[in-house]
Amino acid sequence: MSRRSGWRVELPVAGRPVLVVGGGPEALGRVASLRAEDAAVTVVASELSAALADLAARDLITAHPRDVLDGDVERAWLVIAATGDEAADARVRALADTHRRFCLGGSGRGAAPVPGTGGRRRLGGRVILVGGGPGDPGLITMAGLAALHEADVVVTDRLAPLAVLEGLRPTTEIIDVSKIPGGRTTPQQEINRLLVEHALAGRTVVRLKGGDNFVFGRGGEEWQACARAGVEVQLVPGVTSAVAVPALAGIPVTHRTANQGFTVISAHVAPDDPRSTLDYAALARTGTSLVVLMGVGTLAAVARALLAAGMPADTPAAIIADGGLPSQRTVRAGLAEIAERAEEAGIGAPAVTVIGSVAAFDPAVGSTPGGIDE
């Protein structure tokens, strides 16, 4: 039996071809758990949810937008029937039996115990804003898991730790509201509407985000929308990606002999965009580490702005993609070269960039380049 971060897959799937039939919300948890166990996942479905389409676009899974074929099953070591339709799942199981392949049904919901809930559920409409941490399902809090166990509806997206969806009750509705850079997106107004509508219908709604809802996660906007509608809101903070993703890559955002703080910014709006409100000249002089979120597409512009403000060209920088996931990658370079090196490596969103002496941290070395005196 294979284990990762407290979650388990009942068969040793690492390196083996696994076929998932179904591309809707029912398949999200299964696919995420299989990826966490290093399975070679192929999804076959007439339509993919936004989160699964994003994984396919980044070559993290293989996807075929069509009906399942005999050859798909023949090439698989394990088959998952997760269409969300009982009759369709039964046909997949029958096809797997014909080809003598293992077949697991559905989303796997209810398989993962959730500590601290005792099976108790509270009735009544409300919204719980849950920060899920950075990708790895083991980094969500116990309070976050308990909230998911109570949920009637889970509104989630591609940056959430999707493997935790396997632990939900079979009756829980999952809504994928992913925002894909350059692709499909769900407007924030529509997300707000879904939260309010389901809560006013008497349901317990969990808004599951990656990282923390209040660190560039639109949590404040969603809370305001609920408050205007008279909907009760509860908060479950999450481990923010701004700190956790660098840590997972071996980079402390602070180090006693290197800096005295860190500054987190969003680079969703480029420095040369008139909408930008950031003073990059001031940022270049802070002496703190800079942690840049939502800045893959604007990284070159961010680097140019900092260099123009006087930050040295050899300032250490690192960009970490897919933090907390099996596909996590890190690229390091000086500030003047980091954008070019990231592009050469094919780094895409989501990614976190660290700029400052800590980006060169090496635990085997007694001090950090560009550090301060003890």
Catalytic residue positions, numbered: 157, 179
Residues facing residue 4 across a β-bridge? 7
Helix and strand counts by DSSP (H, E) for the chain: 11, 17
Instruction: Provide the angle, in degrees to the nearest 10, between the axes of the packed helices 188-200 and 219-228.
Output: 50
The Cα–Cα gap between 257 and 158 comes to 37
Q: Which helix (H) or strand (E) holds 131?
A: strand 126-131
- Cβ neighbours around 88 below 10 Å, total: 16
265 and 299 in contact (C-beta within 8 Å)?
Answer: no
Residues facing residue 138 across a β-bridge? none
SS3 content of the chain, % helix, strand, coil (to 5): 30, 20, 50
- Cβ neighbours around 301 below 10 Å, total: 19
Residues facing residue 204 across a β-bridge? 126
Question: Three-state DSSP class for 251?
Answer: coil
Contacts of the segment 279-284: beta carbons below 8 A, 24+ positions apart: 280/305, 280/306, 280/308, 280/309, 281/309, 281/310, 283/309, 284/309, 284/310, 284/311
Quote the tokens at residue 58.
């980044």
Q: Do you find a cis peptide bond into 350, omega within 30 degrees of 0?
A: yes
The Cα–Cα gap between 139 and 354 comes to 21
Distance linking the first and last C-alpha atoms of the chain: 48
118 and 124 in contact (C-beta within 8 Å)?
Answer: no
Name the CA radius of gyration of the chain, rounded: 22
Residues facing residue 128 across a β-bridge? 206, 234
